[in-house]
C-alpha cells in the first residue's frame, strides 16, 4: 500500500472530515452521533447553487488511486460505494441495497440496486464492482492494504457480488464503507492505465451529482443528476470554491460568499460561529483522536517507566482548555470510545500525578541535575495548530516532573522524512482516524504495522488482534479487543490526549446539511443530496 500523506492518511481525515477535518465541544452524545442543531421547518425547494469552501485542487478524479483530501468531498457526490458510513458512524446501503455475511465469515454477498446508470447512460452492474476491487488490489490502490483478506470476487448475476475471503476479516465491512472504495466504470477504465485515463479529469460516476468543470485554483462545479437511481438532489449545482487560506474562507462565510465553510476552521473561531445567529454549526464526534507517541525501539523511551511517567505528567484538561480552545474531550481509554461494544473502561490511562511520575523516573535510574531536571528530550511536531500549542502545554506540564522538553516544529515533508521514514525521534504528536472498526488497532499497534511508528511489539497483543478479527459477532470479538487495550495501557507506546470532534459552520438558510437531523442518518460526510436553500 502506498504511503499516504500523513495528516490525511495516517489518519483521519484530520481533514477528510470537514474532510481530514474533525474536532468538538464537551457534551457526550450517547449514540456517537451529531450534536443536534434542531430541526428546520419548511417544505424542501428544488433549485439553487450551493457554494462550499475547499482549500486546494484535486490532483485526480480517480477516487481509488491515491489519497487526496481535496477530492474526497467531491467523490461522495459524483460516485457511490457499495455501502457507506454516515455522520452517525453507521453503515447504511448505497449501491448495495443489502448484504449478508456467511456463518464462517468467509463470504460476504452484496445485493445491488437495479436500474442504476452511469452518468454517460451506460448500465451499471456487478461487473463494475468486481472490476473496481480487482483493480484496486492489482494496482495497489489506496485501499489495497485493507483488502488483503480478499481471495476472489465473483458475480453470480448482474445484481449480486460475492467477496470470498481467505480468512474471516470482520473489519472489511467498515473499510468497504469508508473511503477509496468508490465503484468505477469498467467500460471506461478496462484495458487502460487507471492512473492516466482521461476520465481522471472528467469523471463518470453513478452518484447524485455529475461533474461539469474544474477551473484550477478557482472552483469545481457539479450539477444535479436528474436520472439518479436514488433520491434525486434538490440543488441544481454544487460549486466547490477553492480558497487556500482558512482565515480567508472563514471571512467568506461571514460575508455570505460561502454557503458551507467546508474547510478546517481555526479553533479560535468556534465561539464566534456559535454566537452568530446567521450561522449554524454542525458538530460531530468521530472515531479519531489527538495523541502523543514514543520511539520505543531506539530512544530514551525504550524504558517503559519513562513512558509511564510522561503519561502521568501530562494534564489533558489543560491541553484541551488552552491549546484546543475547549474543543475536545479527554481521552483516557486505549481505543476511541465510539466503538463502545469493544471498549475497555477498566484498564485506562491514569490521571495526572506529579509525585508518582517523579518516582518512576527515579526508579528508572535518573537523578535531578542542578536545574531540577532529570533529563531532556525533544518533541517533533507539525508547525500548524493545534499541534504547536499542544506541544507548548506538554513542555510546561513535563517540566513539573523534571523533564526538559525542547520543541522542534517542522513542515510536513520534514516530519515525514524524520519520523515516518527515518524513525529518528524521541516523541511526537499526531491526530488520526481510528476506524472504521476496532480492528483498526492492528494498523497502529501490531508488530511491523503501517502506522506503528513507535516500533512497538507485543506478541500477546498480536495474537489477540488476530483472534479479534477471526470472529464474526461483536460478542465474540469484544474480549480480544478489550485484552489488546489492556496491553496498550500497560506498555504505553502512545498517550491519547483528546477525542477529535469536528465543527462544520454553514449559513442558517441551508437545510439538510450532512450533520443535520434531516440527513445525518442517510448521507456520507459531505454528501449534499438532501441540502436545499431556504431563502
- Listing DSSP states for 204-225 in one string gives --SSSEEEEEEETTTEEEEEE-
- Each residue's pLDDT tens digit, 88-138: 888 999 999 999 999 888 999 999 999 999 999 999 999 999 999 999 999
Q: How far apart are the first and last CA of the chain?
A: 47
Distance between CA atoms of 280 and 510, rounded to whole angstroms? 9
Average pLDDT over residues 26-48: 52
pLDDT at 514: 94
**Residues 376-410 pLDDT 10s:** 999 999 998 899 999 999 999 999 999 999 999 99
Instruction: Compute the average pLDDT of residues 291-310.
Output: 97
> Would you place residue 278 in the very low, low, confident or very high pLDDT band (cuts 50, 70, 90)?
very high
What's the average model confidence in pLDDT over 178-202?
Answer: 96
How high is the pLDDT of residue 170? 82
Q: Would the pTM of this model clear 0.85, i.e. be above it?
A: no
What residues contact residue 532 under an 8 Å CB cut-off, 6+ apart? 44, 45, 46, 48, 234, 235, 511, 512
Q: Dump pLDDT digits (tens) for 404-426.
A: 999 999 998 999 999 999 999 99
Give residue 13's pLDDT. 34
The pLDDT of 265-276, averaged and rounded, is 87
Distance CA 161, CA 144 (A): 18
Find how far residue 256's CA is from the centre of its chain.
28
What is the structure's pLDDT at 14? 36
Q: How confident is the model at residue 41 (pLDDT cuts 50, 70, 90)?
A: low
Burial 334-368, CB ≥16 within 10 A → b, else e: bbbbbbeebbbeeebbeebeeeebbebbeebebee
Report residue 261 as a C-alpha cell. Answer: 465553510
Question: What mean pLDDT do residues 452-471 have?
Answer: 95
Window from 12-16, 45-49, 370-374 with minimum mean pLDDT: 12-16
Residues 6+ apart with CB under 8 A from 417: none
> Mean of the pLDDT values across residues 180-193?
97
Res 27: pLDDT: 23
Binned at pLDDT 50, 70 and 90, residue 24 comes out as very low
pLDDT at 119: 98
Mean confidence (pLDDT) of the chain: 90
Q: Tens of pLDDT along 492-532?
A: 999 999 998 888 999 999 999 999 999 999 998 899 999 99
Q: What is the mean pLDDT of residues 286-312?
A: 96
C-alpha 211/C-alpha 324 separation (Å) is: 37
Distances (CA, A) of 104 to 101, 108, 470: 8, 10, 9
341: left (phi over 0), alpha (psi -120 to 50) or beta: alpha
Q: In the chain, pLDDT over 90 holds for what percent of residues?
A: 78
pLDDT at residue number 89: 81
Amino acid at each position: 500500500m502506498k504511503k499516504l500523506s500523513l495528516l490525511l492518511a495516517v489518519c483521519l481525515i484530520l481533514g477528510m472530515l470537514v474532510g481530514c477535518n474533525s474536532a468538538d465541544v464537551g457534551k457526550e452524545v450517547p449514540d456517537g452521533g451529531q450534536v443536534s442543531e434542531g430541526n428546520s421547518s419548511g417544505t424542501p425547494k428544488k433549485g439553487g447553487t450551493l457554494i462550499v469552501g475547499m482549500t486546494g485542487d484535486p490532483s485526480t478524479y480517480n477516487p481509488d488511486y491515491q489519497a487526496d483530501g481535496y477530492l474526497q468531498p467531491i467523490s461522495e457526490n459524483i460516485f457511490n460505494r457499495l455501502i457507506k458510513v454516515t455522520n452517525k458512524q453507521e453503515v447504511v446501503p448505497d449501491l448495495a441495497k443489502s448484504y449478508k455475511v456467511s456463518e464462517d465469515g468467509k463470504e460476504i454477498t452484496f445485493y445491488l440496486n437495479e436500474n442504476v446508470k452511469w452518468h454517460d447512460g451506460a448500465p451499471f452492474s456487478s461487473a463494475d464492482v468486481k472490476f473496481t476491487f480487482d483493480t484496486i488490489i492489482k494496482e495497489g490502490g489506496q485501499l489495497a492494504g485493507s483488502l488483503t483478506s480478499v481471495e476472489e470476487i465473483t458475480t453470480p448475476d448482474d445484481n449480486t457480488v460475492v467477496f470470498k475471503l481467505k480468512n474471516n476479516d470482520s473489519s472489511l465491512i467498515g473499510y468497504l464503507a469508508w473511503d477509496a472504495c468508490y465503484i468505477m466504470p469498467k467500460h471506461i477504465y478496462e484495458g487502460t492505465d487507471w492512473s492516466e485515463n482521461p476520465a481522471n479529469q472528467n469523471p463518470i460516476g453513478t452518484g447524485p451529482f455529475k461533474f461539469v468543470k474544474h477551473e484550477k485554483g478557482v472552483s469545481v462545479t457539479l450539477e444535479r443528476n436528474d436520472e439518479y437511481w436514488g433520491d434525486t438532489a434538490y440543488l441544481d449545482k454544487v460549486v466547490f470554491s477553492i480558497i487556500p487560506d482558512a482565515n480567508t474562507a472563514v471571512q467568506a462565510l461571514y460575508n455570505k460568499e460561502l454557503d458551507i465553510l467546508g474547510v478546517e476552521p481555526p479553533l479560535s473561531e468556534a465561539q464566534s460561529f456559535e454566537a452568530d445567529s446567521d450561522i449554524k454549526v454542525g458538530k460531530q464526534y468521530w472515531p479519531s483522536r489527538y495523541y502523543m507517541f514514543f520511539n520505543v525501539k531506539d530512544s530514551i523511551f525504550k524504558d517503559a517507566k519513562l513512558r509511564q511517567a510522561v503519561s502521568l505528567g501530562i494534564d489533558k484538561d489543560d491541553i484541551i482548555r488552552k491549546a484546543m480552545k475547549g474543543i475536545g474531550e479527554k481521552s483516557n481509554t486505549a481505543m476511541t470510545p465510539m466503538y463502545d461494544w469493544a471498549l475497555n473502561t477498566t484498564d485506562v490511562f491514569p490521571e495526572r500525578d506529579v509525585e508518582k511520575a517523579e518516582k518512576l523516573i527515579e526508579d528508572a535510574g535518573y537523578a535531578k541535575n542542578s536545574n531540577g531536571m532529570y533529563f531532556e528530550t525533544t518533541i517533533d511536531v507539525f508547525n500548524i495548530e493545534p499541534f504547536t500549542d499542544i506541544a507548548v502545554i506538554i513542555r510546561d506540564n513535563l517540566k513539573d516532573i523534571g523533564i526538559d522538553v525542547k520543541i522542534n516544529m517542522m513542515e510536513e515533508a520534514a516530519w515525514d522524512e524524520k519520523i515516518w521514514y527515518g524513525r529518528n525521534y524521541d516523541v511526537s504528536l499526531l491526530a488520526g482516524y481510528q476506524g472504521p472498526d476496532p480492528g483498526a488497532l492492528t494498523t497502529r499497534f501490531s508488530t511491523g504495522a503501517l502506522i506503528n511508528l513507535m516500533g512497538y511489539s507485543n506478541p500477546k497483543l498480536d495474537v489477540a488482534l488476530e483472534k479479534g478479527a477471526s470472529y464474526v459477532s461483536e460478542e465474540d470479538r469484544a474480549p480480544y479487543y478489550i485484552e489488546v487495550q489492556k496491553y496498550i495501557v500497560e506498555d504505553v507506546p502512545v498517550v491519547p490526549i483528546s477525542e477529535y470532534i469536528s465543527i462544520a459552520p454553514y449559513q442558517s438558510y441551508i437545510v439538510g446539511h450532512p450533520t443535520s437531523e434531516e440527513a445525518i442518518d442517510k448521507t456520507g460526510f459531505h454528501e449534499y443530496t438532501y441540502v436545499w436553500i431556504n431563502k
